[in-house]
């Protein structure tokens, strides 16, 4: 039997998979989600969301996709690993994933870069202006985009009518994406909304833990995490959602192994000591 069923859960509460159902929307995440949805609805073009590793960018991007697909009038494509060597590779990935017909250009093997650009522009015009749909490209790990891909995105963002951008682009990236964009002024100028996700406060850490427990259908009135444990988890994780999730997961496993019914400071302290002995944790982290 899984440890979480022993403790009274229906699902695993602290999985690190980017499940939108388990995304706790802290103030920054909620603000980002609301603003990006407004930008997309208004077809403003380019939104950029930055954040350090583990701040919840990927899960937020999945939550955004889920929200858009529920609306029905959005055509969404999601790029998880944007490593393209050249213009052709980049454009062909768009053509393939948006299922754009290349038969007028002799088929996939014969279309040139110019043909692909024309096919993408024609597709965007038909879907947006004629079909009244909103075409959205969401790129995760956007700091991996090379100069060629950034330039191609800039060119596609130029496709517009008098009052609307034909492609809506949302970039989710680590902080180094900022320095990459700053070097391209005519890309920077096109950003309609930008936000940097920050780690969670102590109260947000508590809310996140309680939210995930509730989402996993915890069916007991016994509080699982004591306040002293939550304070220690916040201190060790420094408020990074991914680290909070992993610490909570390990703490619950400890409960089962030690036959205890609540995570306290002692349980979290044992995990920290174990990591320090194994050399996985900087000793200054929790002082």
Contact 242, 8 (CB under 8 A): no
Average pLDDT over residues 225-235: 96
Average pLDDT over residues 221-232: 92
Instruction: Taking the CA atoms of 271, 275, 276 and 281 in sequence, report the sign of the dihedral they define.
Output: negative
Give the phi and the psi of residue 145 in degrees, each rounded to 5: -60, 130
pLDDT at 105: 87
Predicted confidence (pLDDT) per residue in 88-136, tens digit: 999 999 999 999 999 998 888 889 999 999 999 999 999 999 999 999 9
Query: Three-state SS for 64?
Result: helix
What does the mean pLDDT of the chain come to?
A: 91
Instruction: Taking the CA atoms of 13, 20, 219 and 209 in sequence, report the sign of the dihedral they define.
Output: positive
Residues linked to residue 138 through DSSP beta bridges, in sequence order: 78, 170
Query: Three-state SS for 204?
Result: helix
Give the phi and the psi of residue 49 in degrees, each rounded to 5: -120, 120
Average pLDDT over residues 129-153: 95
Q: Write out the H or E segment, with its range, that includes residue 272.
A: helix 265-278
Lowest mean pLDDT among 1-5, 32-36, 131-135, 244-248: 1-5
Q: Which residue has the tokens 């002293």?
A: 228
Report residue 281's pLDDT band, with 50, 70 and 90 as the boundaries. low
Instruction: Taking the CA atoms of 36, 38, 42 and 44 in sequence, report the sign of the dihedral they define.
Output: negative
Longest dimension (CA), the chain: 68
Residues linked to residue 47 through DSSP beta bridges, in sequence order: 170, 193
Lowest mean pLDDT among 13-22, 39-48, 75-84: 13-22
In percent, the amount of the chain with pLDDT more than 90 equals 74
Give the phi and the psi of residue 118 in degrees, each rounded to 5: -65, -40
Token representation of residue 194: 């930008």
Contact 287, 235 (CB under 8 A): no
pLDDT at 148: 93
Token representation of residue 254: 């400890």
Report residue 287's pLDDT band, with 50, 70 and 90 as the boundaries. very low
């Amino acid at each position: 039997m899984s440890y979480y069923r022993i403790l009274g859960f229906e699902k695993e509460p602290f999985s690190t998979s980017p499940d939108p159902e388990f995304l706790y929307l802290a103030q920054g995440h909620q603000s980002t989600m609301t603003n990006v949805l407004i930008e997309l609805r208004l077809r403003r073009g380019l939104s950029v969301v930055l954040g350090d590793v583990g701040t919840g960018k990927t899960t937020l991007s999945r939550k955004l996709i889920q929200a858009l697909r529920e609306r029905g009038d959005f055509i969404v494509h999601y790029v998880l690993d944007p490593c393209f060597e050249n213009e052709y590779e980049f454009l062909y990935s768009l053509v393939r994933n948006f299922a754009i017909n290349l038969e007028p250009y002799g088929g996939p093997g014969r279309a040139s870069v110019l043909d692909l650009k024309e096919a993408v522009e024609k597709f965007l015009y038909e879907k947006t202006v004629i079909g009244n749909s909103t075409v959205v490209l969401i790129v995760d790990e956007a700091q991996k985009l090379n100069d060629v891909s950034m330039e191609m995105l800039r060119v596609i963002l130029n496709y517009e009518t008098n009052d609307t951008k034909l492609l809506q682009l949302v970039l989710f990236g680590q902080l180094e994406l900022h320095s990459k964009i700053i070097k391209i002024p005519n890309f920077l100028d096109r950003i309609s909304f930008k936000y940097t996700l920050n780690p969670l406060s102590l109260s947000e850490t508590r809310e996140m833990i309680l939210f995930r427990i509730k989402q996993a259908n915890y069916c007991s009135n016994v509080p699982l995490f004591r306040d002293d444990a939550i304070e220690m988890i916040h201190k060790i994780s420094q408020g990074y959602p991914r680290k909070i999730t992993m610490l909570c997961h390990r703490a619950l496993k400890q409960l089962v192994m030690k036959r205890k019914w609540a995570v306290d400071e002692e349980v979290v302290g044992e995990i920290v000591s174990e990591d320090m002995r194994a050399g996985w944790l900087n000793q200054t982290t929790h002082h």
